[in-house]
Amino acid sequence: MTNRDRIGLTWISFFSYALTGAVVIVTGMVLENIADYFQLPVAQMSNTFTFLNAGILVAVFLNAWLMEIIPLKRQLIFGFVLMVLAILGLMTSHSLSVFSLCMFVLGVVSGITMSIGTFLITHLYEGRQRGSRLLFTDSFFSMAGTIFPIIAAAILARSLPWYWVYACIGVIYVAIFVLALCFEFPVLGKKAPNQPQGEKEKWGVGVLLLSIAALCYILGQLGFIGWVPLYATKTMGMDISQAGGLVGNFWTSYMIGMWAFSAILRFFDPQRIVTVLALLATALMYWFVSSTDASMLKWIMISLGFFSSAIYTTIITLGSLQTKVSSPKLVNFILTCGTVGTMLTFVVTGPIVEKGGAHAALLTSNGLYAVVFVMCLLLGFVSKHKLHGHMSAH
């Protein structure tokens, strides 16, 4: 692998995370406009976004096997065609079933690119360098979370149709498509060089704990972020731009946190740091949910974004260090569990909001963060990351 290819593939990974971040995070911003467009109540409309999350889940799950059958470059070119078709479908159709199908396709495309992006980073980098690279890659998810709500707000404020938000997101895939044509990808599967043949991977209890942590973390985070705007406007008396500002504050400090931790993580044991961060994030979220002072919410959001930024990627890094060689199947399994969390976001929180309001959904998210802390704590007793991490730590 030449250095030029390594740099090109790393940029594809960056953009793949930005794409998924943009697709997932704008949901809260465009939800009301889309509900008006289809003349449905918001809670019911939020269920159709389960198709988006289901698409991501299906793609990440299947890609553990497909990566070894279909070359990565071909998958990305195919994804570009699907992306164009989905955006055209959103722009031209007024049917709810076509909307759901297009959302599913957008999810599939995001899932394919994100699983390829994650695998490329774990394939190209080793040891602690892998952790810091994954963190930097994941910062593009939150960078999109900072930029695209602003773009969405600008589009909606000018009374332009909501589907232009998705057209803007499509521009990210144009960048991925162009890069994919320019660089050589690693060969996977039976043709791959230096692949230990017939060696069975032993995953261990650590992978189970990390998988539960990944699921609860993503479900907790997206459930929280998804309902913060409603909670801020209906319960705390903010206007929609202030509520959107809270979400923007979270993702901005999340991104800064990732850059900071991508430097810090090289010097600390990843299991210890993720346990401390999970505890801090749980405490900060509890403070947000129980605070009655609206002016404090902004600062709590900034702190929460910063301290929770490294949790998910450190979980994936620890997962990839549970075996001697990081395999696409193991990385994709933990990613799949995280994506199940994404898919369940509105399935779990929708009914909770209907029965107990947005505050109840935020409390549920807080409970899920507490579970993440417990899983990370237990991992300390069974993790094999020190066995497999120190050999290649840089």
Tell me which residue range forms the domain holding 366.
Answer: 3-184+203-392
Count Cβ neighbours within 10 Å for each residue of 342-357 and write b for 16 or more, e otherwise. bbbbbebbbebbeeee
What is the Cα 155 distance to its own chain's centre? Answer: 24
Residue 32's pLDDT is 82
Would 355 be classed as within a structural domain? yes
Kindly state the greatest CA–CA separation across the chain: 61
DSSP output for 14-45: HHHHHHHHHHHHTHHHHHHHHHHHHT--HHHH
Residue 391's pLDDT is 42
Please state the domain count of the chain: 1
CA angle at 131 for the pair 125 and 137, rounded to the nearest 5°: 80
Angle formed by the axes of helices 96-124 and 3-25, to 10°? 150
pLDDT at 341 over 80: yes
- CA distance linking residue 195 with residue 264, whole number of Å: 32
Q: How far apart are the first and last CA of the chain?
A: 19
Residue 390's pLDDT is 45
Would 207 be classed as within a structural domain? yes
Give the confidence band of 286 by pLDDT, cuts at 50, 70, 90: very high
Mean pLDDT taken over the chain: 86
Q: Which residue matches tokens 């299991």? A: 271
- CA distance linking residue 242 with residue 261, whole number of Å: 28
Give the confidence band of 100 by pLDDT, cuts at 50, 70, 90: very high
Would 189 be classed as within a structural domain? no
Would 41 be classed as within a structural domain? yes
pLDDT at 393 over 80: no
List of residues 6+ apart from 256 with CB closer than 8 A: 306, 309
In the chain, % of residues over pLDDT 90: 41
- CA distance linking residue 106 with residue 51, whole number of Å: 9
pLDDT at 8 over 90: yes
- CA distance linking residue 260 with residue 210, whole number of Å: 23
CATH code for the domain in which residue 94 is found: 1.20.1250.20
Residue 135's pLDDT is 82
Would 101 be classed as within a structural domain? yes
Would 298 be classed as within a structural domain? yes
Would 103 be classed as within a structural domain? yes
DSSP output for 276-295: HHHHHHHHHHHHHHH---HH
- CA distance linking residue 78 with residue 112, whole number of Å: 10
Give the tokens for residue 174: 């144009």
Q: Which residue matches tokens 């779990």? A: 348
377 versus 31: the higher-pLDDT residue is 377
Count Cβ neighbours within 10 Å for each residue of 84-102 and write b for 16 or more, e otherwise. eebbebbeeeeeeeebbbb
